[in-house]
Structure 1
């Protein structure tokens, strides 16, 4: 029996309208509409044509109802610049990643969520409270992906085709999820992770999590979380030149632009010095890239350990993909750029863990 909502989700994952799927699968528009609403059920041969058109295994459409990511609870980056179709596609991809998480959660003991919901404190205070709760002091933040995972956040990547979606975060049944764009510089990836943490902490499902105001708050949270005021004030001189900023940004593993913004926010740069520094950094290529930045993106420790453990037991990624009803390519896109060891084996070892150790027990 076909589950109607799975047809809808697969279609949105591919960014297709009903009309586009109708043309590609050779199924009438009215029939597809009836299938998605559950008014009628397709024959198996028809489902096979739909599955082929959407590049999903036939078994996917015969699975149970999916626990989709809540549309109203997602914090989108640059929402005004991104089409609704792209956002629907990214949300559908996130739902598939959550399906993978459910599969993993049944077989491994993952860290319990430890992300506080702090109501409406100012971002600077919120960042300090989370740092204190996580025993970080004022030291530069460690690997942000590891840090989120150690505190129960499920971190996945956005598929490469969603390059115009920076990142997003969402609570799903009490579990926090963060989805990161892995096509950006490593420093901007760290900032995105801290930004989404800010949304999780300050903008729960019962509070406004999108819009310019919420984005500014999450940006300010990320800035304060990655670059504690006392740390920046202790390292950076007032009126620092661009070369000093570029040299110092590696202390906090942030972009030169982010450090410049933080210094202005803390009163270390005047308005004129801030604008001048931004102009010079832009002229040097620091607006869109990070020359001479971190060599590697921060990667997932949980996903790396999970697939290493599965491989040791003879379970290949293809078998995992088949069990959750997606293609191997779909599975890889969930992990793109987040595992240092490829899911098929070989390669590098995972980076060192943050202070709070992870526990994965099969």
Structure 2
């Protein structure tokens, strides 16, 4: 017997409507597919095999109990423009699929306990400063890496082999486990800000509804986490040019547009000058891809768990068979997660050993 929910999960993951899937399936109608997905009908062996081949899994995958749906937490899933329900479902289903394997393999290793506490009552800037300290970074240094540092606090970060023009990253909850999903094709500077933004939502907004105010708060958190205003003040050139900002970009790992906003907040430039710089950025076609290299970070924990489970000389065939995935699907997912050779070489210089416990109570006392 197969679970129809598994068929629906994969169909939505691939961004297909029921009509889109039956177009690839000879002798299967939309009505039949609907009944299969609802658990009202069982397909024959030939149809099941064709569904598996079309959706990138083994037949065995359909016989496994479905995992719970992820609860998308990001307001509009960090949409920079209008995000369709199909795109939203695709992102959540990719994360659901990959998280299922992440969770299964945690039985072979020692998972980092989740110790993130709500930062309710703190301003976004105070929460960002507290988070910097917990991650082991000094108040003034650029963050040499972000994704790995967040993983070390117990947040599960998943790389998705999915690109969407209207989505960079999103956060979700699986029971009490916080997750961040990273989409493919996002420049390194923009990805770092989006990851920091999603971390802000997890800390500040767990029980709050969507709205412009909380989006603005998550942006404030991300800006302070990546570019502390007091630290940036000593480095911001008095005569601001795009070439000068491009140099700062490579040092701090944020976009030129983000640095223009910080310069405005510091009073280095007025709103008129900021608007002029934004227009120059747009005129040069930098809204989607700016000059100045910022490496694209990848999450590590999925591959690390696989190396623990299957050995350092990982065979994709072994992993894909255990997961019930095709070799192609497994390769696509693994390409979004860092090998040991892809880890950052620069280490922070913490004043003390970093803890997994985010002590926001201490930050509240200081505030």
Q: Same fold (TM over 0.5)?
A: yes
Residues 73 and 171, structure 2, Cα contact 8 Å, conserved in 1: no
The residue number in structure 1 matching 2:32 is 31
Matches within 5 A, 1:175-190: 175-190=177-192
Deviations 1:314-338 (A, max 9, x none): 6522222221222222223333343
- Which residue of 1 is the match for residue 364 of structure 2? none
| Closer/same/farther in 2, CA of residues 134 and 314 from structure 1, 3 Å limit | closer
Residue matched to 2:321: 322
1:88 and 2:81 aligned: no
Backbone CA RMSD of aligned residues = 2.6
CA contact (8 A) 2:246 2:292 kept: no
In structure 1, the partner of 2:175 is 173
Q: Is the 8 A contact 2:56 2:328 kept in 1?
A: no
- Does the aligned pair in 1 maintain the 2:119–2:204 contact within 8 Å? yes
| Unmatched tracts of structure 2, length 5 or more | 357-367
Paired with 2:136 and 2:220, the residues of 1 have a C-alpha distance of 20
| 1:277-356 to 2 correspondences below 5 Å | 277-294=277-294, 296-310=295-309, 312=311, 315-340=314-339, 348=341, 350-352=343-345
Q: What is the Cα deviation at residue 147 of structure 1? A: 0.8
Aligned residue for 1:235, secondary structure, equals coil
Aligned equivalents of 1:299, 1:79: Cα separation in 2: 21
Distance 1:51 1:251 in 2: 47
Deviation at 1:9, TM superposition (A): 0.4
1:197 aligns to 2:195 (yes or no):
no
CA contact (8 A) 2:160 2:336 kept: no
Checking the alignment, whether the CA contact within 8 Å between 2:156 and 2:178 is kept in structure 1 is yes
Post-superposition offset of 1:211: 4.3
Contact conserved, 1:301 with 1:351, CA < 8 A, in 2? no
Length, aligned pairs only: 350
SS at the partner of 1:176?
Answer: strand
Please list, as runs of the form range in 1=range in 2, the aligned pairs for 1:25-174 lying within 5 A after superposition.
Answer: 25=25, 26-71=27-72, 76-78=77-79, 80-119=81-120, 121-138=122-139, 139-174=141-176
Structure 1 CA distance, aligned partners of 2:224 and 2:51?
48
In structure 1, the residue corresponding to 2:150 is in which secondary structure?
Answer: helix
> Does 224-233 or 49-58 show the bigger shift?
49-58
* Structure-1 separation of matches of 2:317 and 2:181: 22
| Matching of residue 247 in structure 1 with residue 247 in structure 2 | yes
Partner Cα separation in structure 2 for residue 155 and residue 73 of structure 1? 14
Give the Cα separation in 1 of the matches to 2:190 and 2:91: 20
- Tell me the TM-score normalized by structure 1: 0.87
Question: Deviation at 1:279?
Answer: 2.2
